[in-house]
Structure 1
């Protein structure tokens, strides 16, 4: 049955992906959002999905409402109008929890790495069987005839609470989102509740002590680099072309794999995907074939060449993610200087993890810091400044602004790694423009 959906906040990464998926399944889709451009709207516009300014007139009687989690009665006129008029609406995660019941579902959760892992699982599975998916980078695919559904399960505010997937990967448990979670134990309790809702099998990183504490009625399989794990990545060869490895299960090699990605964390992500698909009954030759063609996901080690300058854009906004991204950069560019350009995301996270951020950034050869990007959910109380982070970094760390990124020019034979979840891309764009202007002037 074809339905007509209206998305309140359609440019959100999850919302835009869900909108695209439903559109591709043959449903009528429209949405509203702020006028500011977001990279997620490109795919919506390409698909011909109408995007309107927020206005209660958008809420006609024929539309089913899906509201983004950031929009409430006190900050959005459409949500306020829906509540006033007793119009039912569901949040993204509430809709998704019901929607996935029609498929064999594969969830991917974790404090870090879930977008990359979801993207890899979706890429492999869609080439083997008809698969719909939702990825946190704003990518979605829908097919009315799909048997399988791959999705990213977000722990923030326990949004994954409505999900009851058949299978799930959990990449790690770490303390993050200090504006919501009170402690690591609080984060663990959320993941433990989610794990108990998995129906068939759960795949978790074996060296994560918090993951080892999880209990679930589903079978639990551990993956990693240890012989103690149920699925073990062995014979690792990391080169500038990617990573080669084998996976052992119950004392036997179940396949040899090449992954055109960098960093040990990506080998772990791939091992989780391999383990899940093996248990789900898929042929490992097919898995290996399509693993080798994975092109990555948006804003996860995305590379570009501006003139002869290599720029990497990455969503890394937690110390664990920064270390992983810098490790990947060193694998691919072992002879180049690694220049980190980092923007902390939220004041609460910066305060909670200040020492950890400093230690992670010391893995780079040179460090530049952009101004802290505050969330709409918080107020800057002046408790932390970017200079506080700069002082804790052992290497000399210099702060930059969007209006002056020229300090970045002082490096030769370097790779620039821009990291953050705020507006770090505006700094990146300013740097690209500066490089282009200098190239033109030198002609």
Structure 2
């Protein structure tokens, strides 16, 4: 497959964050682009507004005939998250199409470019977006395929004639093994996706394989403490090759000193909060310095970085009310997020709305979730978002709630959450999760702003 020859692209599961980035990329190149997804979302509505038609019915007759031609100009992309029995998927195959995974297409696009790939069970979206922002803001330039919507650019894909591409390298389904990076960053390798990997050792073996695909003259930048060989190790608060020192909060902003090869950067202001994000920034600075970007431009870009939607995203921020939304869906992500919230607002009563994501993840990490969620003051717990999974007997939100030690805890529906916020008007509210909990954001914002 030569991506330079592509004229029409159809994406099965187009509403996914990574799939929609590819849709926008090929649309930008002038290709005819369309797709299918199970449900209409804010993201699919945006694609339609951009001129990319989306269908929500599994009916092959609704697919434009332009996409059915089995020639070198047509590309059919699918995500492994769609069920194998999907009619549209199977009928493309019956016509003789070779279907490509999203990760394979990313591999093809990045083949001819200097590739910066960021992997990790968490932290990869913010880190890759930080790197892309530094390269763009400094004038160095890059294309980028991101796992979230950059607030600075209101997009999950950046376009550039630059020969550099920044890619979020997804470990799910071993997708990142289609990439052969020039710079590889690994932010974390905690146990996750055990429905795919079976255990932590298999997951870590996959990360080792990813790092082994580094170009012979490439550079690996790996968080301190991870069991992988690395050219440069980085951390926050731990002296190593590159690290953040004197991390501090001034008002509601985080500052730190960067210590690394090439000297010290003092009083770096990061535009987003959290020690975990300081750590992500250290990785991004280290990448930027490898590219020769001047320190002053790096510091300027970090200060102007406004984050990623649903990653510590302020929804309401007034003297009376703070409401923050976050995508965290793993115990360690929750721990980092809640720690940052507490650090910024230690005196405020914390009300958390959490939606578990996947039955398998809830089952595998129930004790970890319970430990972290027991640190909030009030917990409103939604039912598990199943995504691609069927229910597992005995695994539900009640099972998780019973393990949580605080007394002010409740199983709720989305309507219950709205009623609670309307009645109690919490001073510090967070919504957390990777499912459809984001549908609550605008209603809760409207309630809280309706003084």
TM-score, L = length of structure 1 = 0.90
Does the aligned pair in 1 maintain the 2:351–2:426 contact within 8 Å? Answer: no
CA distance in 2, matches of 1:202, 1:310: 39
* In the alignment, structure 1 residue 338 sits paired with structure 2 residue 346: no
1:43-58 paired onto structure 2 within 5 Å: 43-53=46-56, 54-56=58-60, 57-58=63-64
* In the alignment, structure 1 residue 190 sits paired with structure 2 residue 206: yes
Does the aligned pair in 1 maintain the 2:235–2:243 contact within 8 Å? Answer: yes
Residue 412 of structure 1: CA displacement? 5.9
Does the aligned pair in 1 maintain the 2:421–2:447 contact within 8 Å? Answer: no
Residue 419 of structure 1: CA displacement? 0.4
Does the aligned pair in 2 maintain the 1:241–1:260 contact within 8 Å? Answer: no
1:122-173 per-position Cα deviation (integer Å, ceiling 9, x unaligned): 1111122221101111533353522211111110110111111111211111
2:398 equivalent in structure 1:
387
1:372-416 per-position Cα deviation (integer Å, ceiling 9, x unaligned): 11132x221322221222222121221111232234456566211
339-348 vs 419-428, greater mean Cα deviation: 419-428
1:47-126 paired onto structure 2 within 5 Å: 47-53=50-56, 54-56=58-60, 57-58=63-64, 59-61=67-69, 63-75=74-86, 77-126=87-136
Q: Secondary structure at the match of 1:403?
A: helix
Distance 1:123-1:46 versus aligned 2 partners, 3 A rule: farther
| RMSD after superposition | 2.3
CA distance in 1, matches of 2:294, 2:344: 30
Between Structure 1 and Structure 2, how many residues are aligned?
A: 428
* In the alignment, structure 1 residue 283 sits paired with structure 2 residue 294: yes
CA distance in 2, matches of 1:225, 1:435: 35
1:163 equivalent among 179, 190, 194: 179
Residue 4 of structure 1: CA displacement? 2.3
Q: Secondary structure at the match of 1:404?
A: helix
1:214 equivalent in structure 2:
228
CA distance in 1, matches of 2:382, 2:116: 37
2:316 equivalent among 305, 308, 314: 305
Does the aligned pair in 1 maintain the 2:237–2:246 contact within 8 Å? Answer: no
Does the aligned pair in 2 maintain the 1:339–1:366 contact within 8 Å? Answer: yes
1:259-292 per-position Cα deviation (integer Å, ceiling 9, x unaligned): 0211110000000000111122221111111111
312-321 vs 397-406, greater mean Cα deviation: 397-406
Residue 330 of structure 1: CA displacement? 2.2
1:420 equivalent in structure 2:
433
2:170 equivalent among 135, 150, 154: 154
Q: Secondary structure at the match of 2:180?
A: coil
CA distance in 2, matches of 1:262, 1:436: 23
Q: Secondary structure at the match of 1:323?
A: helix
Distance 1:35-1:66 versus aligned 2 partners, 3 A rule: closer
Does the aligned pair in 2 maintain the 1:132–1:140 contact within 8 Å? Answer: no
* In the alignment, structure 1 residue 19 sits paired with structure 2 residue 23: yes
CA distance in 2, matches of 1:122, 1:227: 25
CA distance in 1, matches of 2:125, 2:203: 18
Does the aligned pair in 1 maintain the 2:316–2:445 contact within 8 Å? Answer: no
Q: Secondary structure at the match of 1:78?
A: helix
- Structure 1 stretches of 4+ with a deviation exceeding 6 A read none
2:340 equivalent in structure 1:
328
Q: Secondary structure at the match of 1:159?
A: helix
* In the alignment, structure 1 residue 268 sits paired with structure 2 residue 247: no
CA distance in 2, matches of 1:16, 1:43: 10
* In the alignment, structure 1 residue 135 sits paired with structure 2 residue 146: yes
Residue 220 of structure 1: CA displacement? 1.8
1:34 equivalent in structure 2:
37
Does the aligned pair in 1 maintain the 2:357–2:435 contact within 8 Å? Answer: yes
119-128 vs 241-250, greater mean Cα deviation: 241-250
Structure 2, unmatched stretches of 5+, are: 150-154
1:48-107 per-position Cα deviation (integer Å, ceiling 9, x unaligned): 2222345434333253212222235412x2221121121122110011111102211111
